[in-house]
Structure 1
C-alpha cells in the first residue's frame, strides 16, 4: 500500500469582505522583515550609516515586487499581458516570478549604489543575499499553502495530494485532489534554508564579505543551481514549456549560475601588485 499525505491546508488566513488574506502574503512579509533585521546586524557590525539601511529596504522591496510581477507576466504569458496591460497590476490574483524579482533587485541596487551608498553593487549584494535564502524558503512555503507549483506524480511516501480545484474548494465545493506528487515547494525551501545557513556562516563567522562578490557568487550557484535540478521534478507552468529540454525556469537560471561562477573566481583570484 502506497503512503501519501493529503494536503488540505487552507491558503487563506481570514477574509475581509471579498478579499482573502493569505499565508503566502504573510510569509512574504515575515521574510522581508526578518531580512531587514539581519541586514541591520551587518550594518552595526560594519558601523554603516543607518539612513543607508532604510533606503536599502525601500529599493529592495519595490524592486523585488515590481520585478517579480513583470517577470511572471513577460516571461510566462507575454501575449496575454501585453494585450491586457491592466491585468499586470492585479497582483492579488497571483503570479510572481523569482527570476523577475532577482532582476528587479539588480536594477534597484544599481540605482541604490549610485544614489545612496556610492559603493559597488557587489558591496550591497554581499549583504543583501545573506537573508534572501530565508525569504525565498518562506515564499516557497507560501506556495505550499496555496497548493501550487508542485511536482510530478510520485509513489514516494512523502508524496502530497494537493487540492486541484482550489478556488472552488474554498467556495464550498468538494475538493478534487491530485494524485500523490513531489512536494517540490518543500524541496526548494530546504535548499534555500541551507543556502541561508551557509551565507550566514560565511558573513558572520568567516567574514567573507571582505572578498567582494564571494558570498554573492556562492548564493547564486546554490539558489539557481538547486532550482535547475528541482525543475526536473516540477510540472510545467505554461503550455509552451511542454516538450522543452529545459523549461523556462531552468533557462532563466543558467545565466545566474554562470554569473555566480564568475564572481567566485573574481573574488578568489590573486590580486595584482
Structure 2
C-alpha cells in the first residue's frame, strides 16, 4: 500500500483566532529576509541605507497593489465590476469580513514591482536595470516564502498523483496530489542561491539587466511547466489551451530573452 503525506495544517496560527494566519506570516518573513539581503547588498556596494528604505516602501506597495489588481483583472473581472468595494481587503457577503491577503496574483505583483521601481528610479535618478538586478535576488527568496505560505494554506493544490511524496490535503479532499506549491517554493529557493552567487562573484562584470533576464527566463519557464501539475484556479481556465498562469508567464520569458540577448547599446532609462 502506498504511503502519502497527510497535510492537515490549519491556516490560522492559533486555534480559535482568525489572525495571524500562516500565509500572512510567510509574507512577513519573506519581506523581512528580503530586506536583510538587500541591506547586505547595499552595504557591499556602498549605497545609502536611507535610499533602501524608500525603495522597500515602493516595492512593498507596488507588490501588494499589483498582486491584488492582477487577481481582479486576470481571474475574475466580472465579479469585481459588480462588487468593486471588494477589491479592497474586505467582503460584505454573506457578512462583513476582513479578507486580508486573500486573492493575490503573482504575475500582477511582478508587474507592480516593475512599475514601482520605474517610478522610484525616475524620482531618485538611479539605474532602473541595476536596481531590478538586485531586487530579483530578493524576489526569489520572497517568492519561496509566499509559495510555502500557499502550502500552509492548502491552496494552489496539485492534480491527483500516486507518487510517493504526494500530499493529501485534508481540508480539500482525501486525494493524493502533487504539492505543486512546494515545488515552486523550493525552485525559488534554488533560484535565490543561484542569483545571489552570481551577483557576489560577477556583479561588476555583468551587463545591466542580465540577472533580471536569467530570473525571468528560469522562474517563469518553471512556472509554465509547474502549472501542468496544478488544478485550475478558476472554472473558465478549463476552456483555455493553457491556464491563466501559463499564459501570463510567456511574456515574462520573452522579456528575459530580450534582456539576455540585447545589444550592448540597448537601454531602459539609465540615469
Deviation per CA, 1:226-268, whole angstroms, max 9, x where unpaired? 00010011100000000322110000000000000110112xx
The reply to whether residue 25 of structure 1 matches residue 24 of structure 2 is yes
Deviation per CA, 1:137-161, whole angstroms, max 9, x where unpaired? 1111100111110111001111111
Contact 2:71/2:104 (<8 A) preserved: yes
The reply to whether residue 240 of structure 1 matches residue 205 of structure 2 is no
Query: 2:54 — aligned with what?
Result: 55
Q: Secondary structure at the match of 1:86?
A: helix
Tell me the distance in 1 between the aligned counterparts of 2:79 and 2:143: 27
Tell me the distance in 1 between the aligned counterparts of 2:85 and 2:170: 29
Contact 1:143/1:149 (<8 A) preserved: yes
| Structure 1 pair 236–208 and aligned structure 2 pair: CA distance change class (3 A) | farther
Deviation at residue 9 of structure 1 after TM alignment: 1.2
Tell me the distance in 2 between the aligned counterparts of 1:86 and 1:12: 25
| Structure 1 pair 208–28 and aligned structure 2 pair: CA distance change class (3 A) | farther
Work out which of the residue numbers 158, 162, 186 in structure 2 matches 1:151. Answer: 158
| Structure 1 pair 93–66 and aligned structure 2 pair: CA distance change class (3 A) | closer
> What is the aligned residue count?
257
The reply to whether residue 250 of structure 1 matches residue 218 of structure 2 is no
Alignment of 1:1-273 (within 5 A): 1-14=1-14, 19-90=18-89, 91-92=99-100, 94-116=102-124, 118-164=125-171, 177-207=173-203, 210-266=206-262, 269=263
Deviation at residue 82 of structure 1 after TM alignment: 1.5
Structure 2, unaligned runs of 5 or more: 90-98, 267-271
| Structure 1 pair 59–270 and aligned structure 2 pair: CA distance change class (3 A) | closer
* RMSD between aligned residues: 1.7
Contact 1:7/1:162 (<8 A) preserved: yes
Deviation per CA, 1:39-88, whole angstroms, max 9, x where unpaired? 11111111112221011110000000111111111110000012101111
Q: Secondary structure at the match of 1:13?
A: coil
| Structure 1 pair 93–16 and aligned structure 2 pair: CA distance change class (3 A) | farther
| Structure 1 pair 93–48 and aligned structure 2 pair: CA distance change class (3 A) | closer
Tell me the distance in 2 between the aligned counterparts of 1:126 and 1:141: 24
Deviation per CA, 1:191-222, whole angstroms, max 9, x where unpaired? 11111111001111222674100000000111
Contact 2:2/2:164 (<8 A) preserved: yes
Tell me the distance in 2 between the aligned counterparts of 1:228 and 1:206: 29
Q: What TM-score, normalized to structure 2?
A: 0.90
Tell me the distance in 2 between the aligned counterparts of 1:209 and 1:139: 31
Tell me the distance in 1 between the aligned counterparts of 2:265 and 2:117: 26
Contact 2:24/2:101 (<8 A) preserved: no
Higher helix share: 1
Tell me the distance in 2 between the aligned counterparts of 1:72 and 1:270: 36
Tell me the distance in 2 between the aligned counterparts of 1:124 and 1:6: 42
Q: What TM-score, normalized to structure 1?
A: 0.90
